Chain A
Amino acid sequence: MTDHALMSWLPQLAPAAPAWLATLQAAARAQVQTQIAAPDAEAWRYTSLNHLLEQGFVPIDETITALQPDDLDEVLIPGLASRRVVFVNGRYAPELSATEALPPGVHLDSLRDVLAHDPDAVRVLLTAEPATVPLFMALNLAGLDDGLVLRLDRAAILAQPLELIHLSIGLDQPSVAQPHHLIVLGDGAQATLVERYVSLGAAVYCTNAVIEIQLGRDAVLTHERLQTESQNAFHLSGLSLRQDANSRYQSVNLGLGSRWSRTELLTQFCAAHAECDLRGLYLAGDDQRIDYHLDVNHAVPNCTSRETFKGIIYGKGRAVFDGRVVVAKDAQKSDAAMSNQNLLLSPQAEIDTKPQLEINADDVRCSHGTTVGQIEPEKLFYLRSRGISAALARRMLCLGFADEIIHTLHSETLREHLSEQVGQRLESAPWD
């Protein structure tokens, strides 16, 4: 690993940055350097950075203004009724966004705007500790530039889902965008967020996004993350979640696109009786590789977490599931259940799965389970005996396997859209 390649992801520090931000970014930069000098071997055990570094990504300080709202049509999901916030190559694009008539108590801004007009507001919203976050989150922090700032006041309700679209288009040079979003739900607030990553065209680019979420007491957030970028894209995303008492976080993470991707989900319970439900489905085919890293921290008693990830891997696809649940010494009555099930469709497909429980309390209910299997011949024969071709039967069984995750999406429109996307991808899958 050469340090040069990653350090060149960082733009020049903005001269007008407030002192606290300059300090934070310097700390993040130091963390990047530390991580480059002595990488976390365990976190990178199954993944080589070489392919990413070879691309020579650089940040492009350029706001894309050529896009018209029509250009969005090909990436919008028909019938998905929602307000939307669009980021183009990491930068807020108000002309493509639709955020009219937000309910009372819901505040939506771009990070650039807030930094320009009320930088101290950002200071309290940034909770990620630059000195301890993983490499790419540190890199994102060090390059902090733009993002969404969504704040819901106490008891505010965003009943209609908000779509957060990351649209990437290729530039002459392979570029990296590092949006950083801050989502804060006050006590008792509720929202549904559909976070999407899509490409226009098939250029090589990289997204390294971070989303920080804070849920107040009794707050409820449904968070659906759909990564359907082009097969040439590089994708990194980090979630940092902090939950107050009785809050509920439910997420579905779908990884279908990109050539190389890594998603890190870090969650922290800060007070009792909070619930966190992380679900995921990944599809890695051809020469794709998809990594998921979970770090779920039961730091306080009486919280519940569920981690349910499923993967379908075919061709020369490779996936990694590295899930870790840590129960602190005082976190009695913690309840955690992690499962990772994988379907391998070809002899060259590969999954590295590593579920881990680190339990330091003695009165807890924790479990984990992993399966790696193939399509069961009995099931295949059953469908074929009914006249269904082998190819369609395999696809039906894969979709059936995926359905446990897909059916938890909040809208029928989304469920149908994603089933179709998975089905289409599998249509091109080689079966041996």
Chain B
Amino acid sequence: MLVVNGLRATVGEKEILQGLNLTVNPGEIHAIMGPNGSGKSTLAHVLSGRDGYTVTGGSATFAGQDLLALEPEQRAHLGLFLAFQYPVELPGVNNTYFLKAALNSIRKARGETELDAVSFLRLIKEKLKILHLDESLLKRAVNAGFSGGEKKRNEIFQMALLEPKLAILDETDSGLDIDALRVVADGVNALRSPERSMIVVTHYQRLLDYIQPDFVHVLAKGQIIRSGGKELALELETTGYGWIDAEGLAA
């Protein structure tokens, strides 16, 4: 589904990704862990097409297409979804209007018919139920004045609605207390399916108590330096990241 090969990317003069390899197959959940500044968020941003990064080498193929050649919205049309670490507040932009514009943009791009207001509302209420969210969410402006937990839940809600093939969760656990974390993780787990893959980017192991990954990768200095099963996350919990030396190599 996603094949990243020797990916290199810079921000300004600084090379953040230094030849990263990663393959994600349908239905798999990959956790990407690593210390601050290792390039975790850069990977999420480069894959989703955010400005400000220059890809200097390597490739990323998603659903058979050259991902890096596509605009952000085209990536979404193909089924890529980024759950933001810091969801953006959009005052004055109504959440329902936003969700409908997003869903119908994707449907249109795929040659599907756009949903009318009634079918859309039916669908959205169904999704709210799955995630145990309150309908009042629909009337508010996108993320405006939301608490940290509400913002993250709104991200998962969008993911439920847009039904991506590959979801990248960028530090979804940051800023959440344990209750909020559980709610968000439950939402993510409800969306697991054999066709849907996820990349869970996180600094801490604790999210992985709730979202069990199939694979865990350790990212340091722009490369994946170790990969393993979920037991690797537990190991990191006890050893921390101190064993990675300044060059990003395992000591």
Contacts and interface: CB of A to CB of B under 8 A. Distances in A.
Interface of A: 377-379, 381-390, 392, 396-397, 399-404, 407
Interface of B: 48-51, 71-73, 75-77, 81-82, 84, 87-88, 90-93, 97-98, 101-103, 105-106, 109, 141, 158, 162
B92 to A, nearest CB: 3
Contact of B105 (A382, A388, A399, A407): A388
B105 A387 contact: yes
Between A386, A389, A392, A401, the greatest number of chain B beta carbons within 10 A of the residue's beta carbon is seen for A386
A385 B92 contact: no
Contacts of A397: 90, 93
B92 A386 contact: no
Contacts, number: 78
Contact of B88 (A382, A387, A403): A382
B98 A396 contact: yes
Given A388-B105, A400-B92, 18 more contacts: A381-B50, A381-B51, A382-B84, A383-B90, A383-B98, A385-B48, A385-B50, A385-B73, A385-B81, A387-B162, A389-B105, A390-B71, A390-B73, A392-B101, A396-B93, A397-B90, A397-B93, A403-B93
A119 B71 CA distance: 68
Nearest to B87: A382
A404 B81 CA distance: 30
Given A396-B93, A396-B98, A387 B73 contact: yes
Contacts of A383: 90, 98, 102
In the A-B complex, the 3 residue pairs with the smallest Cβ-Cβ separation, listed nearest first, are A400-B92, A403-B92, A387-B76
A397 B141 CA distance: 11
A405 to B, nearest CB: 10
A208 B101 CA distance: 41
Contacts of B103: 387
A378 B50 CA distance: 9
A404 B50 contact: no
Contacts of A399: 92-93
Contact of A404 (B48, B82, B88, B91): B91
A94 B49 CA distance: 60
B102 A386 contact: yes
A379 B76 contact: no
B91 A385 contact: no
B71 A384 contact: yes
Contacts of A387: 73, 76-77, 102-103, 105-106, 109, 162
Contacts of B101: 388, 392, 396
Contacts of B51: 377, 381
A188 B141 CA distance: 36
A274 to B, nearest CB: 30
A403 B97 CA distance: 13
17 contacts: A379-B88, A379-B90, A381-B51, A381-B72, A383-B90, A383-B102, A384-B76, A385-B49, A386-B76, A387-B103, A387-B105, A396-B90, A396-B97, A396-B101, A400-B91, A400-B92, A404-B92
Contacts of B88: 378-379, 382
Contacts of A390: 71, 73
A384 B81 CA distance: 11
Between A379, A390, A407, the greatest number of chain B beta carbons within 10 A of the residue's beta carbon is seen for A379
Contact of B72 (A384, A401, A402, A404): A384
Nearest to B141: A400
Between B76, B77, B90, the greatest number of chain A beta carbons within 10 A of the residue's beta carbon is seen for B90
B105 A392 contact: yes
Nearest to A379: B88
A404 B144 CA distance: 13
